[in-house]
Copies of this chain bind each other. A is one copy, B any other.
Amino acid sequence: MKYVLLALLMATPALADEYRATGDLGLIVERATGSLVVVDQSDRAAIGRIEGLGDLSHASLVYSPDERYAYVFGRDGGLSKVDILSREIVARVLQAGNSIGGAISDDGTLVAVSNYEPGGVRVFDAKTLEMVADIPTASKTIGLVDAPGRRFVFTLWDKGETWIADMKGAEPAITKVTGMGTNPYDALLAGDGRTYITGLFGEDGLTALDLWDETPEPIRVLPGYGRGEEELPVYKMPHLEGWAEAAGEFVLPAVGHHEVLWIDASDFTETGRTQTHGQPVFAMARPDGRQVWVNFAHPLNDTVQVIDRMTHEVIHEMKPGPAVLHMEFTPRGHEVWISVRDENRVDIYDTETFEKLGEVAAESPSGIFFTARAHRTGL
């Protein structure tokens, strides 16, 4: 009897995996094939694939607090809940025509999606994906993040407003902040959930909000800084989300310039600029804030530069390959994973020695998301 049981167990992959912890897992978006590769960060290896997720160009995802489920936000308006242990889609809704990003509430019970078509934010029960709130905005919405206190914060492209939706009660309680600027195109929330910064497409500078303020007011950041009179060509608008705070400074990719900007996190004054290889797309601080890693827009997107937080100088440059789209640090920052789309590969580097430690195969990889994000605010 015992022998039979053993044989059966070994034939059943699910049971062989019975004790799979989830703290060091992750998902890589395969944009062309609408699939996700499940990876083990400690083993530097792919361990499975989840398919059937629709249009994953520009897709992002968030994790449930137990680090078992991911909520995947597809460009086609699809919201999918996947189980990274069983590697199945457990729920999926087509909730809008065109969407851009989402967030999960601090208690893990609500998932919100930001939509272009129709505009607005829709909020879903994290267990079932039933819609629990619909927040029309009569505008494209961008920069949706979760904030402490069961709140979502998002910004209206057409109206230049930021809305704070408090979801503690039966109905969303909305605080509207006007005057955020012309055509905010993306935003970030600092890791402590206090400072929200929007980038502007329609005018120079950025706009910050102090969410600890009872009545937050727009704070102009670098009002004289922008594309300038030359109207430089912008190959790709930079992303603002990600780890952008490093030891008391924010580091932001400049729009249309070959540089990143450093801003004092307490008073929003400029503290420096660093010339870079190309137009930055992501400027991401290593979790300890000591380094900032930058990738670039087409046609210079084969390169990554590393900037030292203390000196603001480029200390390392590497060329992982054509179309570096995203970078993800291990939670304590000792390694970084870099997606090289056109070589169907994710490279893994040591962040101290810059030595390449391994690689994982993936079809046209874009975003890389480790489960540790479940425990962070605003990611």
Contacts and interface: CB of A to CB of B under 8 A. Distances in A.
Interface string A74-96: 00000000010110000000000
Contacts of A287: 192, 377
Given A192-B289, A333-B148, A67 B106 contact: no
Given A18-B17, A194-B247, A66 B290 contact: no
Contacts of A130: none
A23 interface: yes
A63 interface: yes
Interface in A40-72: 41-42, 63-68
A375 B41 CA distance: 12
B334 A19 contact: no
A123 to B, nearest CB: 17
Contacts of A17: 18
Interface size band for A: 35 or more
A15 B247 CA distance: 46
Task: Determine how many copies of this chain the complex contains.
Answer: 2
A65 B334 CA distance: 12
Interface in A8-30: 8, 14-15, 17-25
Per DSSP, are chain A's interface residues mostly helix, strand or loop, or mixed?
A: loop
Given A5-B5, A290-B148, A21 B22 contact: yes
Contact of A310 (B107, B212, B289): B212
Nearest to A22: B21
Contact of A23 (B23, B148, B265): B23
A352 to B, nearest CB: 5
A148 B107 contact: no
Given A194-B290, A248-B266, 20 more contacts: A14-B19, A18-B18, A18-B19, A21-B21, A21-B22, A21-B66, A22-B66, A23-B65, A23-B68, A24-B65, A41-B65, A42-B108, A67-B67, A106-B332, A107-B334, A149-B352, A192-B247, A192-B288, A194-B289, A331-B376
